[in-house]
């Protein structure tokens, strides 16, 4: 463990109320962490999650649009308040909050790219800068949730791919610049099915995705959460990106037929 005392460690999970973020929050609480749950629009799921968990483990819900500089400043000030419930302590920052915008490249505009970068790249980099002093004090670490689309392009998701590739590079660069703070990333593949009819049960679309995955199934949010837990407690791992994709990237260009 990074911490040397017996005080429960403190984590912030951005976008922690739903999907992968929710799984990460649950896993951290199950491992004995105290957690701040950040949300933007998903207030009801975040509140429901907080009610389900041990009240001593949930430090609070923190609302904010992290793409807005003033909102980030407010969130950071709240968490780092010396008289707050965590006494300003932070041992782990999980940059999970993200958008996932789709659109044909020629039909999108500069402002679309700027919006995606603000949420998926500028915000997590800004939070890493703001929380670095607290993480240095606690011998803490950072885990950025990136995407396998940052390594292999996904058609009609150019803005998303560029932002996640940038965050993966920031992970490696800051592992050097912020050391001894450890900075790592997790790159999920398909960990939940889209809810549209095209990806329904027994659909050709689902079968095509599974065929590309050597392990023969899509992942789960819990698979990503396990990777986060590992990196949070891996004392000699930094600058690494753990792909949680069932081998899909490794199989690119090959055939499982």
Domain count, the chain: 1
Residue 221: asked if its preceding bond is cis (omega within 30°), the reply is no
The enclosing domain of 145 has a CATH number of 3.40.50.720
Query: What gap in Å lies between CA 124 and CA 12, rounded to an integer?
Result: 12
Asked, for residue 151, whether it belongs to a domain, the answer is yes
Residue 77: give the domain boundaries: 10-195+219-244
Is the residue at 158 inside a domain? yes
Residues of the chain with pLDDT under 50: 1-3, 256-257
Digit-coded pLDDT (tens) for 92-145:
999 999 999 999 999 999 999 999 999 999 999 999 999 999 999 999 999 999
Torsion of CA 96, 159, 166, 144, to 10 degrees: 10
For position 202, what pLDDT does the model report?
83
123 belongs to a structural domain: yes
Residue 100 maps to a domain: yes
Calculate what percentage of the chain has a pLDDT beyond 90. Answer: 88
């Amino acid at each position: 463990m990074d911490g040397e005392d017996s005080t429960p460690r403190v984590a912030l999970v951005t976008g922690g109320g739903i999907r992968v973020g929710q799984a990460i929050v649950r896993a951290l609480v199950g491992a004995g962490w105290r957690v701040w749950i950040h949300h933007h629009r998903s207030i009801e799921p975040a509140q429901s999650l907080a009610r389900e968990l041990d009240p001593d483990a949930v430090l609070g819900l923190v609302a904010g649009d992290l793409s807005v500089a003033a909102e980030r400043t407010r969130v950071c000030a709240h968490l780092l308040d010396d008289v707050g419930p965590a006494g300003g302590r932070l041992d782990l920052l999980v940059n999970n909050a993200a958008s996932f915008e789709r659109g044909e490249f020629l039909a999108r505009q500069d402002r679309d790219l700027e919006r995606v970068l603000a949420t998926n790249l500028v915000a997590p980099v800004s939070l890493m800068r703001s929380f670095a002093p607290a993480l240095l004090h606690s011998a803490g670490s950072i885990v950025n949730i990136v995407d396998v689309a940052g390594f292999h392009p996904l058609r009609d998701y150019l803005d998303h791919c560029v932002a996640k590739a940038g965050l993966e590079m920031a992970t490696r660069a800051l592992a050097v610049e912020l050391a001894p703070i450890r900075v790592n990333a997790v790159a999920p593949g398909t960990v939940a099915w889209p809810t549209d009819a095209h990806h329904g049960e027994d659909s050709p679309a689902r079968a095509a995705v599974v065929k590309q995955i050597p392990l023969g199934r899509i992942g789960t949010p819990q698979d990503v959460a396990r990777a986060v837990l590992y990196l949070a407690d891996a004392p000699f791992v930094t600058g690494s990106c753990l792909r949680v994709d069932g081998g899909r990237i490794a199989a690119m260009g090959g055939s499982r037929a």
